[in-house]
Amino acid sequence: MNKVMFGRFIPGHSWVHRMDPRAKLVLSFLYIAVVFFANDFWTYLIMTLLLLASVVASAIPLGVYIRGLMPLFWLMIFTVLIQVFFGVGGHVYWQWGWLVVSQDGLNSAGLILMRFVLIILVSTILTFTTEPLEIADGIESLLSPLKKLHFPVATLALMLSLALRFVPTLMDEAEKIMNAQRSRGVDFGEGGLRQRVRTIVPILIPLFVNAFNRAIEISTAMEARGYQDGENRTKYRQLKWHRVDTASLVIYVISLSAVIGLRYFS
């Protein structure tokens, strides 16, 4: 559980840390959208180099990002195997019954794996270098035009910030509960699939109870402090757009435009 890195904030003073959260949100969404336009070696090379440059600019070791991928390793392997054995088309390298390994299947598996890794890493960069409250403020600012349509922007931003904030907290609580169960003689690795599912139940029940209790405590604390979302609320943290944000936006736009250009005009 402690290997789950998504949602954790790592303090720092790097280029990426100093960026406006709105810029980081926009760049992350743009990157994820353009990932689906990449379809060959050169387009993925540009996407990978841009991501590596962002990792270096965040001043966080690459190993930390790689460790964040480990909890999703089996999910990635499962997705790749589905594409490998069920992708149809091109030269057939191996076949056994309804299982087929073909050229198109391997190509599709490689593309899916690259997209999976790139999307997870760029999202992790965002959460590593941006505090949850800053993410909420950035989302609220970007969605502020929707207030004219009476959309609850402030409420949505609060929900997202709380969700991001308590993902690592719930993971830590789950780890503590598992350690408590192990001290009582529970072995989570023994038995078949049904037995392992049964051993998870003693973890889920106290975890849900703690989550609901924590939610009640947070709501009570917010009410005690007079919290009300609305247009009359002022903010202690003021978002400011800096030159570093403009420079990052220009670099991303040029690089992602090159990917789209290679996709349609090469």
**pLDDT single digits (tens) 49-67:** 999 999 999 999 888 888 8
Apex CA 193: angle with CA 170 and CA 100, to 5°? Answer: 105
pLDDT in tens, 200-242: 777 888 888 888 898 899 889 988 988 776 656 677 777 888 8
pLDDT at residue 19, as a whole number: 92
- Sign (positive/negative) of CA torsion 185, 189, 193, 197? positive
pLDDT in tens, 126-183: 989 988 778 888 888 888 888 888 888 878 877 877 877 777 788 788 888 888 888 8
Whether the per-residue pLDDT at 250 is higher than 90: the answer is: yes
Strands (E), the chain: 92-96, 99-102
pLDDT at residue 51, as a whole number: 93
Provide CB contacts within 8 A for 164, sequence distance 6+: 7, 127, 132, 135
Q: How far apart are the first and last CA of the chain?
A: 45
**Alpha-carbon distance values, 212 to 40, 182, 202, 217, 234 (Å):** 47, 24, 16, 9, 29
d(CA 164, CA 88) in angstroms, rounded, equals 39
- List residues bridging with 103 in a β-sheet: none
Tokens standing for 107?
């190509």
**Alpha-carbon distance values, 97 to 85, 86, 100, 101, 173 (Å):** 11, 12, 8, 11, 46
